[in-house]
Chains A and B, each alone.
Chain A
Amino acid sequence: MSSINPKKDFAKRDMNFFAEFTEKSAKMKRYLGFAFVIGFAVIVVVVGGVIVQLIMNQVIQNNINDLKKELASDEYQDLGLEYENLSNTLQTKTDYYFALTSHKANVDSVITSDLDAIRLLEACIPSDTIITGYETTAGVFTVSGQTFSYYSGVEIVNMLNNSDLFNDVEISIIRYDPAENEEASTYVHNVINNYYEFTITGSIVGDYVVSVVAYNNTDLNALGGVNATSVESGDSYTLENIMTREENGVTYTLESILVNGTALTEEEFSFVSNNDVFSFVPNSNASIVLNYVNASAATESTEGSES
């Protein structure tokens, strides 16, 4: 005798199923809702991303348009040509300046007549002496005169040399022979008619002009103009910091030095190179040529030959 009611069991089972089903269905609906939300968010993100990308592209496009517009402007269109023209003008002007300063150095190097020496001579004439003539040119001073004392010629030089006027002096004193010259009669009224003629010749101690020029031996042009400097006789002339030189943003290296056309020996140049100083004592007008090479070009050349 069974007390089990099958209908009741089925009903209970159905109720559980429905409850379960309903619960599952609600869960799926929630998932579906989430999925829609997520899907919407993804769409928003994608659309947002697309919009951002479009904006970024447009911003860059605008930048490009601006750049193109700027580069197409007259200012930028002519820049290349302007730079080329300016470079040519600079080279022309550099050559022009080099020529001008070369001429100036030549004129500065001209040894003029020393008017100070003339003034000095006027103050150094003994009372028994007549200066009959003098000539001063190219640093040489020649004085001739007549005197009653054969000491006067040397006395004149002594007085002149108190001011270190002469470098190298030659003096000749000759007793004047009336028989040799009719004009001697001009002086017969003098009580003493025994007199001497003298001639003094000497190099006048003066300043020397040292002209310095720098060449770029890589491109065969001048680096600046010719610099002429006056140097007092006996003083030394010094060039410092000459091993490298920068012009227009290019670095040049000193390759050789010529003094009055003669190159320094290897040892001499090595000394200059080690100390970055060149010094010498001029004994006449002097010209110094500094030969440079483009440092970067020289390096490339070296690297090229090594590889």
Chain B
Amino acid sequence: MSKMGNTTKILLFGLGMVIFLLMSYLIIIKPLQSDYTKLMLTQEQLQGEKKYYDSLKDASDNISGEIDQLNSEITDVENQFLPYLNTECIEQYVMAMFEENGCPYLKSIESESIVTNDVALPDGTFSSERLVQRRITVTYSTTDGYCIPQYNTVPDNNELTPAGFDAIVATMGTGMYQRTGYPQFVNTLELLEQSNPSCIKINKVTIQDSNLGYVLMTAEIDFYGLNLTDRVSVPNLDQPYITWNGEVNVDCVGGQIGCPLLTTDPNSDWYGVSIVTREMLDFHDRPFATYFSTAIFVLLQGQYYNEEGQPRVDEVYTPYEAGIVLPGTEG
């Protein structure tokens, strides 16, 4: 080497450099660049994948936002209907409303389930969310402006004396005993409708004069609820027509099934009431009694009433005298 000329050395060095560069490129740089290209491609693919997932994430966020918005609107609609319809709660509420507003003379109250249409979805299937409707039909009476109104109790004149009776008769048709009930009826209907306008609706109002001094007033009140498979909102159960708002500690000691000729249970409000009438003393089939004993019972009928038409049997006469015998028992 030392004997080589400088020119040779330069040429060899140059050659070495060329080989070095070539080898560097082939062995190191090219694979590195190839790796770089592959890595870049992989990175781009992964970035694309991430971008796609990020867009999914954004879309999911948007959908979540829309679902939240929809849930809010759903909650709003759900709360415009009753969560369920309890007939007893609704009827108790309706009767209490009329009574509290000065219209207590109930003639009848009935409930009816009204069939509603299912909702057809755009794809042709039917929604499982159902509208339920309960119609309460009430008939109330006004007073006639003459007869003393007595409401929902054994008459206050239980202990009526002849003088007291005359005093009551003298008040008939005067002062506070004017005809009452019609304005109270319409007021109550307004209050019922206003209590929840979106789901309590007055379907029909009918007024009919009786030609007997009083007016019969009938209204059909519709209550709307929803039967939902997957309710979003928490139902408000505070309203009195949803949850029971009537008496809870009901005295059931003196209840009886069927009315005997004479109620002898002192726990019963019917205590002392006799249902014996002249009609009852006609010959009726009494499966528990023999033909013979029934005949005797019928034959004894004359002994039940005195000449004034009052019951004669002591058990019957005593309460009758106290004024708690039903009018129908007077025979």
Which size class do B's interface residues fall under?
Answer: 35 or more
Asked if B85 is an interface residue, CB under 8 A from chain A, the answer is no
Asked if B254 is an interface residue, CB under 8 A from chain A, the answer is no
A67-94 interface bits toward B, Cβ cutoff 8 Å, 1 = contact, 0 = none: 1101100001001101100110110011
Residues on A with C-beta less than 8 A from B16 are 39
B49-67 interface bits toward A, Cβ cutoff 8 Å, 1 = contact, 0 = none: 1100100110110111011
Which A40-56 residues have C-beta < 8 A from chain B? 42-43, 46, 49-50, 53-54, 56
Residues on A with C-beta less than 8 A from B199 are 107
Assess A46 versus B24: contact at CB under 8 Å? Given A93-B74, A103-B226: yes
Which A121-148 residues have C-beta < 8 A from chain B? 122, 130-138
Tell me if A110 and B203 are in contact (CB < 8 A).
Answer: yes
Which B1-17 residues have C-beta < 8 A from chain A? 5-7, 9-10, 13-14, 16-17
Which A104-130 residues have C-beta < 8 A from chain B? 104, 106-107, 110, 112-113, 115, 118-119, 122, 130
Residues on B with C-beta less than 8 A from A64 are 39, 42-43, 46
Tell me if B20 and A135 are in contact (CB < 8 A).
Answer: no
Residues on B with C-beta less than 8 A from A67 are 43, 46-47, 49-50
Asked if B204 is an interface residue, CB under 8 A from chain A, the answer is yes
Residues on A with C-beta less than 8 A from B205 are 113, 115, 118, 134-137
Asked if B208 is an interface residue, CB under 8 A from chain A, the answer is yes
Assess A31 versus B204: contact at CB under 8 Å? Given A50-B24, A101-B77: no
The total of chain A residues at the interface (CB under 8 A) is 75
Assess A104 versus B80: contact at CB under 8 Å? Given A25-B6, A93-B67, A97-B70: yes
Tell me if B206 and A107 are in contact (CB < 8 A).
Answer: no
Closest-by-CB residue of B relative to A221 is B122
Residues on A with C-beta less than 8 A from B189 are 113, 115
10 contacting pairs across A/B (C-beta < 8 A): A35-B10, A36-B13, A39-B13, A60-B40, A63-B43, A64-B46, A70-B50, A71-B50, A97-B77, A220-B123
